[in-house]
Structure 1
Amino acid sequence: MPGRARRRLARRTGLLSVALSVTACFLVVLSGAVGSVSVGPVDAAQIVIGHLVPGMPWMSDGTLTPLQDQAVWQFRLPRTLLAALAGAGLALAGALMQVTVRNPLAEPYILGVSSGASVGAVLVIVFGSAALGGLSLNVAAFAGALAACVGVAALARKNAELSPTRMILAGVALGTLLSAVTSYLTISTDAQNVVSVLFFLLGSVSAASMPSLIGPAVALVVAGVIAALLVRSLNALLTGDESAVSLGVNASRLRGLLLVVASLLTGTVVSVAGGIGFVGLVIPHFARIAVGADHRRMLPVTVLGGAVFLMIADLLARTVAAPTEIPLGILTAFVGAPFFLWLMRRDGAERAGFGR
């Protein structure tokens, strides 16, 4: 790539990253101001700053009520941050899966990880925690995702190596089987459990709390660090196995590592936010079209774009049909599918893997 084009892409990446970061901060304040308890945007910002920086005068001069403080800090801020973490995590997992199988249509759910997490969570909802040895819903969902990851890896091995084609086929088959198990559990359970099952399967961050942010945050940091350390190997893998091997990359071992990282990241997100589709499919394509396929530029935009996308979706979920809340999975499908089709029609879509 010529030096001028490289500098132009680097400048575009920087500007886009700054714009997405500012948008995310704006959405945190806006989300804190939206709800049944009346809180202005300035008040919401003051509450967040007041909790982060001790000694702020407005926290004790009576201008903010305890109800406003509770609404913003204990309910609205955690769900906004969880939406950001979930969106960033799913987007990063999607980007890693697409380079793992070298397929532009790959995303975390294609490997059955979401279906495995759903089976674990639904088992707890239907039979209760005690029947599963005291496992909580989050832990059971994570265990289901991990089991699905191990199953796909075992089925995808050919001649002691992971085959990209086998990974996709094994993921689709295993995901379909696990979805059938979930459907059977749903229709065979008591009526009062059906709503809980469906709400989890469609995704929601309405039950977010500060402690629930720890798992996704740790998973995102670990996955992000690993991806940053492997960025050159990821770029090499895009060129094909033979080229990657000639550059000193063990393609099979790298695929195995990326499968584990993406699956555990997805499982962690699904365990706290339920099944949310399209984020891992659309956002990496948006990033590639915007800044190119080089993972040094694409991954930061992917993470920030995923966070902003799901924060906007959560804000719409709370307001479009208020006081009824729309599950996130429905909104991401409504927004993601048309946006995905629009991306396909753009001239730069081939950089994202379309039209080949």
Structure 2
Amino acid sequence: MTCVALFLVLLASVVVAIGLGAALVTPAETARYLWAALTGGRIDADEITTYQIIWQIRTPRVLLAALVGAGLSAVGVAIQAMVRNALADPFVLGVSSGASVGAVGVTVTGGLAALGVYAVSAGAFVGALVASFLVYAASSSRGVLSPLRLVLTGVAMSLGFQAVMSVIIYFAPDSEATSMVLYWTMGSFGAASWGALPVVAAAVLVGLAVLYRHGRALDVLALGDETAASLGFGPDRHRRSLLVLVSLITGVMVAVSGAISFVGLVMPHLVRMVVGAGHARVLAVAPLVGAVFMVWVDLLSRTVVAPRELPLGVITALVGVPVFIALMRRKGYVFGGR
């Protein structure tokens, strides 16, 4: 029932968000345009401009926001259980910083120019994969992947990648490119398009399904390696497979949206307080909550100071910091419940 209610809230949020902006369209008219696009319905000649704004510009952007919000929330749940750290989020493994270096390098040097508009996203994805490989190689010792070593290595690699990115920006000859890079590293859905949506949708939806099937494994990992081993469970094997999965999902998301903070950190805690610590339940609810949250964050991003846009990371931090502090100060709250 909770999931059904959240899904209906998500649908309503998507329709409202698509209609709001510089060109205001009522929810009823928005639904009519969307239905016409999906079914091949008729649009009057004087409505073509509004229809194109709704279908070609806003709809892929809002859908991308929902997918990224869902993906970040689910990956946050998985990583917090995988490394047994309440402060972990999708970017603690250095994936976001690696993706940022890839995007910055492509933007400043003009690399991967043959890919056209997808060059920056491709550079970000390659950077994310390289970061994931380096973190895994540095934190793995004799086939054992310690949660503490994984977190510490991820944090160190993240700081290292941020230093590299700062050096690239410092020596960048084009100040306009530098401004664009700084904006990208704080998150934006401004480059959303129908062409990029299928890859992100496939990565996030398949990733959500696989993570949900690993719900019991995450429950056991959250108990600790000794407890897991006593139950005949191989924590290192599952941790390695989960690391690969969350790195791929995060890399795809960062490549199209940039680095968006606090969503993967705060949403899992909020959901656990409502539905409990069982990861099957948390992974069913958290993506929907994250999707709704990110749709409204993106709406605020493009309307609060229109025609300019606020970086998404600014809004998520302004919301996430006080919420997280309130959660931590809540009497009796501990990781995974109360």
Instruction: Classify the TM-score, shorter chain.
Output: over 0.9
Q: Does 1:273 align with 2:251?
A: no
Superposition deviation, residue 349 in structure 1: 2.6
Determine the structure 2 residue equivalent to 1:68.
50
State the alpha-carbon separation in 2 of the partners of residues 84 and 127 from structure 1: 32
| Alpha-carbon displacement from aligned partner over 1:94-119 (angstroms, at most 9, x marks no partner) | 11111110011011111110000000
Deviation, 1:37, is 2.1
> TM-score, normalised to structure 1's length?
0.90
Q: Report matched runs for 1:124-143 at 5 Å.
A: 124-130=106-112, 136-143=119-126
Q: Which whole-Å deviations, capped at 9, do the CAs of 1:145-197 have from their partners, x for residues lacking one?
A: 01111111111112321011110110011100000011111121121211110
Quote the Cα distance in structure 2 between the aligned partners of 1:176 and 1:353.
31
Structure 2 counterparts to residues 1-356 of structure 1, below 5 A = 14-15=1-2, 17-55=3-41, 59-60=42-43, 62=44, 65-130=47-112, 136-189=119-172, 190-347=174-331, 349-352=333-336
Contact 1:47 1:72 in 2 (8 A): yes
In 1: Cα distance, 2:93 partner to 2:178 partner: 25
Q: Return 151-160 or 75-84, whichever deviates more.
A: 151-160
- Alpha-carbon distance in 1 for matches of 2:168, 2:337: 38
The alpha-carbon distance between structure 1 residues 166 and 26, as it changes in their structure 2 partners (threshold 3 A), is: same
Q: CA deviation at 1:279?
A: 0.6
Deviations 1:277-313 (A, max 9, x none): 0011001111111101101111011111111111110
1:4 alignment counterpart: none
Query: Where do 4+ consecutive residues of structure 1 move more than 4 Å?
Result: 130-135
Counterparts in 2 of 1:54 and 1:132: CA distance versus 1, 3 Å: closer
Where 1:35 maps in the other structure, the secondary structure is coil
Kept in 1, the 8 Å contact 2:112–2:119? The answer is no
Find the aligned partners of 2:213 and 2:46 in 1 and give their Cα distance.
45
Q: CA deviation at 1:38?
A: 3.4
Matching residue's letter, 2:25: V
Alpha-carbon separation, structure 2, partners of 1:269 and 1:130: 19
Unpaired runs of at least 5, structure 2: none
Normalized against structure 2, the TM-score is what?
0.94
**Paired residue total:** 336
Is the contact between residue 212 and residue 284 of structure 2 (CA under 8 Å) also seen in structure 1? Answer: no
Paired-residue identity, %: 44
* Residue 172 to residue 351, structure 1, CA distance change in 2 (3 Å): closer
Whether the 8 Å CA contact 1:89–1:216 is kept in 2: the answer is: no
Quick check: 1:32–1:72 contact (8 Å CA) kept in 2?
Answer: yes
CA shift digits 1:117-141 (9 cap, x unpaired): 0000001100002579988211111
AA of the residue aligned to 1:113: V
Q: Which ranges in structure 1 are unaligned for 5 or more consecutive residues?
A: 1-13
Report the residue type matching 1:308 in the other structure: V
CA distance 1:45–1:245, shift in 2 (3 Å): same
Please give the alpha-carbon distance, in whole angstroms, between the structure 1 residues aligned to 2:40 and 2:109.
45
